Structure 1
Amino acid sequence: MNLNMNSVESLVAQIQGLSGNIGELTQLRNYLKQCDDLLRTESTRLAPLLTELDPSVHSLGYLYILEACTSATVSKDQANELVLSVARFINVCAADQIRLAPEKFISICKRLKEQVVLLEDPMRGVAPLLTSIRKLQSSTEQLTTLHPDFLLLCLMSKCYKTGLSVLEDDVFEVDQPRDLFLYCYYGGMICIGQKKFRKALELLHNVVTAPMPIISAIAVEAFKKYILVSLIHLGQFATSFPKYTSSAAQRNLKNFSQSYLDLVNSYSTGKVSDVENYVQNNKDKFESDNNLGLVKQVVSSMYKRNIQRLTQTYLTLSLQDIANTVQLNSAKEAEMHVLQMIQEGDIYATINQKDGMVRFLEDPEQYKTCEMIERLDFSIQRIMMLSKKVTTMNEVMSCDPSYLGKVGRERQRFDYDDFDTVPSKFNL
């Protein structure tokens, strides 16, 4: 079957006539599915059809034709036009229509992402992919397969703040496990770029502890960054895994990250010179992992940790003594560190510029201001919401046939007659 004038007119007429209510759209989707092979076969001749359709009104039909048009290999010269066409469609298409064919919509969005990367202009894809995510989502709690692509473009173009706008959403629905791994890994890197280390730790922790039957390269790289961010943000790293971590991760992650665990040991000595020497000796390893910049931040964080330890021992201390104790080059450098830590809320202190003395203070927060009460109330409301959400998810899971089937099979493994063999000292 070839795409002749009659079939072209019929296709356009069907799209224009069945783009009304949901019932007609369902009928149109079934029709387009039947034409899918034909559309792909004739993909090079379909572009003129798009001029006869309004992408905001005939979004479903337009999507099928556009997806077929973009499925063919394009040259670098054609890539620019493809990016423009897909971006325009994403901006104006009707969300309720494209959700009837999510695989087609995802296909053209991923095609756009591939082309902007090839054009070495990832920023062009950031805004369209953010729009596509919002149109594809049934709610902000859904993690789509486009989330990792969007975050990757944000990383490549250094649009970290735009990426953060998506990372602020709570995620409870995941389409594919791999999407969650990449979402958390790329999200962690974006948070590192913005020095939001607490959020970065949370996301990287999710990668490391997520269920995995076998170890993945994503988990290994996330574990390395997890170690470094832990040292920067917490000043320490716990080498033991939480109980809910998969056995595959517990068995293998440390084997692929020994250089980083050795860095933890050097860091725990509290001696900047030891850490600097270790980093210098293993510079090539960290550089090949693209983690050298983060490792340098680990070294810098040691000065902050050592200054914080001084607040637990002294009430007042000269800037020169601080410089000597934490191995800084001068009192001026010590002053800059102390001022930055005061500004960031890491310590509470005042500096007497006249005699160069630092006075360490107690935390002035009394937790009774209106602002603090609002923050506490917001936290309480959020915890209540999360608790309700977890309860609902447990109820849904307890009724899931596949879950109940698995639990039933597990129970069959236990023979209750085995209780007769319990040693007598345990018998009641």
Structure 2
Amino acid sequence: MAPSDPSFDDIVSKIQATTDIAAVSKTLAPYLNNLSDTLTDTLVHRCKASHGFDHALLEKVWAFVTTCDGEQVRLTSHKAMSFAEALVKLATDTRQPIIAIKPLSIFIQRLQSSPGQLTMIHPLLAKTCLLAQSVKDIVPILDNDISDVKPQQTHINYKDFLLYHYYGGMIYAFLKKFERAVEFFKLAVSAPAEVASAIQIEAHKKYVLTSLLHYGRVLPLPKYIAPAVQRTIKVQCMPYADFATAYEKKTNTAIRTELEKVKPHFVRDKNYGLAKQCMEALHRRNIQDLTRTYLTLSIEDITALIGLGSEPDGTRRVEGIIVRMIESGAIFATISHEHTGGMVSFLDDPNQHNNTITMDMINAQIQKATAITAKLTAMDQAISSMPAFFNKQGGHGGDHSGYPMDESDYSMHMGYDNYVDEGAPLSVLPTGRDLLIASSSSPKKPRTESDSGKRGRRAH
């Protein structure tokens, strides 16, 4: 113990004086929490003092996170956070943030009383994964929807909740799981608030773009979103609303014009790469629309119909898009090069979706949606009860900034800034490269038989 700590006799007397369970959490736990913890404090000091990882230090870190008692660590949550922050700082200072990821992942599982419980370590781990561009270890944690928010037990605050879902949305977008990304950004934007946080504003910007990428339109936000957040979004995110309005009209020329108009805002926010991918997603949707109308089309005709006819390499680019759509199952078609330039024959989905497998899948989704609704209701109540939510001095005071985002928060945007071609490998996404497009297939309307060797319209 430190010289200033009480003696062992004093500690024993304090423990013996505690006569009921309520006193343990209200009196004894805070008392013990303020005492020096030799193992934890030693690890923190070693991480702070070290200029790099050595075998001995890694062994001690690993031994601690794999053997510590989760219940005891939860009673000393501020020391657990100090240890995690020191570990991440050492890893990032030595430009090896990936080293901290696995220990933090295990540490979170030790801290949690249930898989859906949010801890203070969650946003730190998510941010570290983005810095390291290694997200494999956090995905199982992200996939567990947060259903347990207990500030009294985990000592999390409102900002922890916002940052975890903001970073989580970025990770899912990084993995092309845009549906989950939209959900995470929505959770951040719709969190209860007296005054909008800067984190919520940034989350809404990415919510708009990932929603356009996955759905082709911006999904409406929940009706219970805080009026203060709604007002701030309307003012701060106007370029995104203008782009979304143009995008939903599906007119290629109008969208390009609007994109050039708002480009300075998107570049400043490090979201221009996402916006350009929305253009690629639009080409995919336009091609999907053609499959509902035509039996066959030349690649040259498709290029003209989706608005790329004026580009020098338009036909080559469109053929590449079609090939990848066929490979991913987004459309069912064949390409023949017996004709000059190539002909595309569109086929019907072989799955008629009229079997028990489809019905079981629908029922499972309904049950999942019902469970998520119940969890969100409980989580909303828990967030509203957080002290920081009511404390205007805690970051929700007199201006629209709310909880600000520091420089390292904004540096996370770099992974979205530059555009990457669709053909880039999925396994390599370093900082400075952008997200790849994930397209979804849609059911086709029935058609009548027609001459598949000629261009023709589908019968509805």
Q: Common fold, TM-score beyond 0.5? A: yes
The alpha-carbon deviation at position 69 of structure 1 amounts to 6.5
Change (3 A) 1:234 1:320: same
**Aligned residue for 2:167?**
186
Query: What per-residue deviation string (whole Å, max 9, x for no partner) do you get for residues 113-168 of structure 1?
Result: 23323333211111111011100000002111111111111111111232221111
Query: What per-residue deviation string (whole Å, max 9, x for no partner) do you get for residues 261-320 of structure 1?
Result: 222233234343443444345444322212122122112222112212223332322211
Change (3 A) 1:236 1:137: same
Change (3 A) 1:2 1:98: closer
Structure 1 position 310 matched with structure 2 position 290: yes
Change (3 A) 1:380 1:222: closer
C-alpha distance in 2 between matches for 1:193 and 1:299 = 18
SS in 1 for 2:194: coil
Q: Contact 2:168/2:181 (CA < 8 Å) preserved in 1?
A: yes
The alpha-carbon deviation at position 373 of structure 1 amounts to 5.7
Q: Contact 1:228/1:294 (CA < 8 Å) preserved in 2?
A: yes
C-alpha distance in 1 between matches for 2:217 and 2:366 = 29
Structure 1 position 352 matched with structure 2 position 326: no
**Aligned residue for 1:43?**
none
Query: What per-residue deviation string (whole Å, max 9, x for no partner) do you get for residues 3-40 of structure 1?
Result: 39x96xx69x99xxxxxxxx9xx79x959946946x4x
**Aligned residue for 1:332?**
316
**Aligned residue for 2:69?**
94
C-alpha distance in 2 between matches for 1:165 and 1:303 = 33
Match of 1:287 among 245, 251, 267: 267
C-alpha distance in 2 between matches for 1:132 and 1:123 = 15
Q: Contact 1:315/1:361 (CA < 8 Å) preserved in 2?
A: yes
Segments of structure 2 that go 5 or more residues without pairing to the other structure are 13-20, 152-156, 386-460
Structure 2 letter corresponding to 1:213 = E
Q: Contact 2:193/2:229 (CA < 8 Å) preserved in 1?
A: yes
Query: What per-residue deviation string (whole Å, max 9, x for no partner) do you get for residues 399-425 of structure 1?
Result: x9xxxxxxxxxxxxxxxxxxxxxxxxx
Aligned length: 358
Q: Contact 1:185/1:203 (CA < 8 Å) preserved in 2?
A: yes
Structure 1 position 166 matched with structure 2 position 141: yes
SS in 2 for 1:215: coil
Query: What per-residue deviation string (whole Å, max 9, x for no partner) do you get for residues 144-199 of structure 1?
Result: 11111111111111112322211110211123332221111101000110111111
Match of 2:226 among 226, 239, 246: 246
SS in 2 for 1:315: strand
Which is further off, 63-72 or 354-363? 63-72
Structure 1 letter corresponding to 2:365 = S
**Aligned residue for 1:199?**
180
The alpha-carbon deviation at position 205 of structure 1 amounts to 1.1
| TM-score of the pair, normalised by structure 2 | 0.67
Q: Contact 2:40/2:79 (CA < 8 Å) preserved in 1?
A: no
Match of 2:347 among 358, 361, 368: 361
RMSD after superposition: 3.8
C-alpha distance in 2 between matches for 1:137 and 1:337 = 44
Q: Contact 1:163/1:187 (CA < 8 Å) preserved in 2?
A: no
**Aligned residue for 1:424?**
none
Structure 1 position 66 matched with structure 2 position 46: no
Structure 1 letter corresponding to 2:322 = V
Q: Contact 2:51/2:90 (CA < 8 Å) preserved in 1?
A: no
SS in 2 for 1:214: coil
C-alpha distance in 2 between matches for 1:35 and 1:65 = 14
Structure 2 letter corresponding to 1:325 = L
C-alpha distance in 1 between matches for 2:332 and 2:103 = 45
The alpha-carbon deviation at position 215 of structure 1 amounts to 0.6
C-alpha distance in 2 between matches for 1:149 and 1:220 = 20
The alpha-carbon deviation at position 96 of structure 1 amounts to 3.7
Q: Contact 1:208/1:219 (CA < 8 Å) preserved in 2?
A: yes
Change (3 A) 1:164 1:216: same
Highest relative contact order (Cα 8 Å, sep 6+), 1 or 2? 2
Greater Rg over alpha carbons, structure: 1
Q: Contact 1:64/1:104 (CA < 8 Å) preserved in 2?
A: no
**Aligned residue for 1:406?**
none
Structure 1 letter corresponding to 2:40 = L
C-alpha distance in 2 between matches for 1:35 and 1:264 = 51
Change (3 A) 1:34 1:363: closer
Structure 1 letter corresponding to 2:82 = S
C-alpha distance in 2 between matches for 1:148 and 1:283 = 30
Query: What per-residue deviation string (whole Å, max 9, x for no partner) do you get for residues 55-93 of structure 1?
Result: xxxxxxxx4553366369945627878776444422332
C-alpha distance in 2 between matches for 1:166 and 1:326 = 40
**Aligned residue for 2:123?**
148
The alpha-carbon deviation at position 352 of structure 1 amounts to 3.2
Match of 2:210 among 226, 229, 236: 229
Change (3 A) 1:337 1:83: same
Q: Contact 2:52/2:94 (CA < 8 Å) preserved in 1?
A: no
C-alpha distance in 2 between matches for 1:298 and 1:186 = 21
The alpha-carbon deviation at position 257 of structure 1 amounts to 1.2
| TM-score of the pair, normalised by structure 1 | 0.71
SS in 2 for 1:228: helix
Segments of structure 1 that go 5 or more residues without pairing to the other structure are 15-22, 40-62, 401-428
Structure 2 letter corresponding to 1:209 = S
C-alpha distance in 2 between matches for 1:177 and 1:158 = 26
Which structure 2 residues correspond to residues 34-73 of structure 1 after superposition, within 5 A?
36=34, 39=36, 63-67=37-41, 70=44
Which structure 2 residues correspond to residues 369-384 of structure 1 after superposition, within 5 A?
372=358, 375-376=361-362, 378-379=364-365, 382=368
Query: What per-residue deviation string (whole Å, max 9, x for no partner) do you get for residues 346-378 of structure 1?
Result: 333333342333233333322355754654464
More helix by share: 1
